[in-house]
């Protein structure tokens, strides 16, 4: 199963990029995994509205969706799971024979309705709100943790 984590916009901080690289490399051990960052959205309007930004981001995301069987949007209003529940959910996705699962981290304003309507599910990684930059290594770490749980590796301590 191909797994992809997409983040809207480029990572701004070097230390966040280093954390991303660590988990991206670790995930290669568990199969086909790809982390993608989209170009930063630069609208011509000096003060574009949040809806204008979300629509522009949706156009970028729509180009990445062909071939994706299962779309998961990381959203503060999504379903929360423990790490063990997340691992079990990943196992169920794998057992369904899906070819490509994609997680998407939205921009600072969230997702346009045109993307929300295509999602199969919404996940929340925490009831806390994190910046769209900070959530990148957190999401990668949780996907990695789920794989180690499924493989019975000692990374996760109960």
Mean pLDDT of the chain: 93
> Within a domain: residue 140?
yes
> Within a domain: residue 89?
yes
Question: Per residue in 69-113, pLDDT tens?
Answer: 999 999 988 999 999 999 999 999 999 999 999 999 988 889 999
Q: What is the dihedral of CA 99, 115, 22, 155, to 10 degrees?
A: -70
* Look-up of token digits 């957190």: 138
Query: Which residues, including other chains, have CB under 8 Å from residue 87's CB and lie 6 or more apart?
Result: 145, 146, 147, 149, 150
Q: Which CATH number is 68's domain given?
A: 3.40.1280.10
> Within a domain: residue 112?
yes
Q: Which structural domain, as residue segments, surrounds residue 24?
A: 2-41+49-151
Give the C-alpha separation, 124 to 76, whole Å: 5
Confidence class for position 131, pLDDT limits 50, 70, 90: confident
Domain count, the chain: 1
Q: Is the pTM for the entire model greater than 0.85?
A: yes
* Look-up of token digits 């984590």: 5
Give the C-alpha separation, 30 to 73, whole Å: 22
Decide if pLDDT at 114 tops 80: yes
Element (H, E) at 150: helix 135-151
Tokens of 128: 């806390």
Question: Per residue in 41-66, pLDDT tens?
Answer: 876 666 788 899 899 999 999 999 99
Angle between helix axes 14-27 and 135-151 (nearest 10 degrees) is 20
> Within a domain: residue 156?
no
Residue pair 79/129 in contact by the 8 Å Cβ criterion:
no
């Amino acid at each position: 199963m191909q797994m992809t984590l997409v983040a809207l916009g480029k990572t701004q901080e070097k230390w966040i990029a280093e954390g991303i690289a660590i988990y991206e490399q670790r995930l290669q051990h568990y199969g086909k995994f790809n982390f993608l960052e989209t170009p930063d959205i630069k609208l011509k309007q000096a003060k574009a509205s949040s809806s204008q930004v979300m629509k522009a981001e949706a156009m970028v995301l729509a180009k990445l969706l062909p071939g994706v069987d299962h779309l998961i949007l990381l959203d503060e209003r999504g379903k929360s799971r423990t790490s063990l529940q997340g691992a079990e959910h990943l196992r169920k996705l794998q057992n369904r024979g899906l070819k490509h699962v994609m997680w998407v981290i939205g921009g600072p304003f969230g997702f346009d309705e045109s993307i929300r309507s295509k999602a199969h599910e919404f996940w929340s990684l925490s009831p806390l709100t994190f910046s769209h930059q900070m959530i990148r290594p957190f999401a990668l770490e949780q996907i990695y943790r789920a794989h180690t749980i499924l493989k019975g590796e000692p990374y996760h301590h109960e």
